Amino acid sequence: MPLLDANRSRAHLRHKRPRGRPPRAAQRRAQLCDVALVSLLCLAAAIPTWAQASPSVEYQVKAAFLLNFVKFIEWPPDVFQDEKAPITLCVFGRDPFGSALDDIIRGRAVNNRAILARRINELRDLKSCQLVFVSAAEDKRLPEILNTLKDTSAIVVGETEGFAERGGGIQFFLENNRLRFAVNVDAAESARLRVSSKLLALARIVHDESRPKEN
């Protein structure tokens, strides 16, 4: 074989991707997903004695959870105006985060989309949100919020008992002084959201309380 052809053959072998090996972009996404998963596990154990934590620390941790939730949820493409539109995290009504939410998302992006935080006081403005946080102070307005967001692809996150069973998408709760979360898979399906199995593996799975009980 001529030397030139041999060199070309070796170059071809070097650049040929092994069959069955995922593309680098897919590998990178998987690595980032695993990092986010570890972050969630660490957050769940971040405050061993939650009762002694200050409100500011509590919401710093919850803000970090919200950021990680976004990494494990996939919204339908038609939710966004274009490929550059941001993922918008909204706090409805009373805001318990202070600057914590803005600080944690600053400079962050998911799937090449920037993450934007907004404070919303009017129900009609919620339709521009991909994630809506409802504090305990606004819990009584949950039916109105869910009605406003009907037929949208927003995930609604709360922190009061029974929030997820009443139609919320994700609910924070304490278990053995650890912050955990529940995911309402019915709400996610209704909103056309794809929730990563890795996120679901860390969650308590719940259904709408109105759903008929299976025998």
Report the pLDDT averaged over residues 189-215: 88
Looking at the domain assignment, is residue 7 inside a domain?
A: no
| Sole residue written with tokens 């030139």 | 4
Distance, CA of 66 to CA of 88 (rounded, Å): 11
Asked if pLDDT for residue 2 goes beyond 80, the answer is no
pLDDT value, residue 160: 97
Looking at the domain assignment, is residue 2 inside a domain?
A: no
Confidence band for 178, pLDDT divided at 50, 70 and 90:
confident
CATH number assigned to the domain comprising residue 147: 3.40.50
C-alpha torsion angle, residues 102, 151, 199, 171 (rounded to 10): 70
Helix (H) or strand (E) holding 159: none
> How many domains is the chain partitioned into structurally?
1
- CB-CB contact of 39 with 65 (8 Å): no
Confidence band for 10, pLDDT divided at 50, 70 and 90:
very low
Of 42-46, 114-118, 127-131, 186-190, give the lowest mean pLDDT range.
42-46
Distance, CA of 160 to CA of 21 (rounded, Å): 45
Interval 33-89: pLDDT, tens: 455 555 565 555 555 445 555 668 889 999 999 999 999 999 999 999 999 999 999
Looking at the domain assignment, is residue 4 inside a domain?
A: no
pTM of the complete model: 0.79
Looking at the domain assignment, is residue 3 inside a domain?
A: no
Regarding predicted confidence, which is higher, 36 or 110? 110
Looking at the domain assignment, is residue 1 inside a domain?
A: no
- Tokens in use for 66? 């919200």
Looking at the domain assignment, is residue 214 inside a domain?
A: no
- CB-CB contact of 171 with 155 (8 Å): no
| Range of the structural domain that residue 137 is part of | 21-206
- Tokens in use for 172? 């924070």
Looking at the domain assignment, is residue 25 inside a domain?
A: yes
Looking at the domain assignment, is residue 41 inside a domain?
A: yes
Q: Do the strands 109-110 and 113-120 form a parallel or antiparallel pair, or are they unpaired?
A: antiparallel
What is the Cα Rg of the chain in Å?
A: 21
